[in-house]
Amino acid sequence: MERDLMIFDFDGTLADTSELFLRSFDEAAERHRFQPFDRVNAAHVRTLDAMGVLAHHGVPLWKLPVITLSMRRAMEDGIGEVRMFDGVADELQKLKRHGAVLALLTSNSEGNVLQVLGEETMGLFSDAACGTSVFGKRAKLNRLLRSARTPASRAILIGDEVRDCEAAQLCSVAFGAVGWGYTDLSALISAGAEVSFTRVGELAAKLTERNTLERAV
């Protein structure tokens, strides 16, 4: 296989941060006076992009930086309860053995990511862009491409949110959507995902399938 760059999101893609996210969201909602997470209509919320989620809960955009900061602090306080999705470490090891270059692109902090993945799994990644802003993944994705000296046509971003897909499209990078994260898989496919994964165990097989990336771009 040619030297392909496979870039992974963290929250909802490699690690199950859903419960901690919901608790952090609700705490921020009480502190900053917007609606707590709508669990009654959670299926609908999972079809929305980031701006749609914010609008649905009445989040004041001018407060977004301070809200994001407070949620990150809450996530750091509870990160000890977060675990990788079952099978993630094995799939990443398979990709590495196959010759893939792995990288991370996440809004979460490097310290949180290291605590959850552990040194062995973290060591599989050649580069990591952590602590990105809510809508700042495009710039960090371009930085990862430059650092790896890999053209966009030979890279793929794997994530679970529409904003991941949008960042990939803006950088002319293929997008692979996972079905176990924050956003409904059908919404990610509608947004333009070229490859989709319904189970963690599909990651290595689909990503190393002959000509997968050529078909995706």
Do 22 and 62 fall into the same domain? Answer: yes
Contacts of 139 (CB under 8 A, 6+ apart): none
Of 29, 49, 81, the residue at which a domain comes to its end is: 81
Same domain assignment for residues 132 and 198: yes
Domain shared by 200 and 153, yes or no: yes
Task: Check whether residue 10 and residue 110 sit in a common domain.
Answer: yes
Q: Is the same domain home to 68 and 132?
A: no
Backbone phi, then psi, for 16, in 5-degree steps?
Answer: -90, 90
Q: Are residues 70 and 172 in the same domain?
A: no
SS3 181: coil
Vertex 199: Cα angle to 150 and 25 (nearest 5):
85
For CA atoms 151, 154, 160, 161, give the dihedral sign: positive
pLDDT of residue 146: 95
pLDDT profile of the chain (217 residues), mean per 10 = 79 96 94 95 94 95 90 90 97 95 94 96 96 86 95 96 95 96 96 96 90 46
One domain for residues 42 and 99: no
64 shares a domain with 53: yes
For residue 210, what pLDDT is reported? 60
Q: pTM of the predicted model, to two decimals? A: 0.91
Give the model's pLDDT for residue 136: 84
Same domain, 12 and 66: no
Q: Are residues 73 and 180 in the same domain?
A: no
Q: Which pLDDT does position 131 carry in this prediction?
A: 87
Q: Is the dihedral of CA 122, 124, 126, 132 positive or negative?
A: negative
- Whether residue 211 sits in one domain with residue 177: yes
pLDDT of residue 211: 52
d(CA 72, CA 172): 29
- Integer Cα distance of 92 and 104 in angstroms: 12
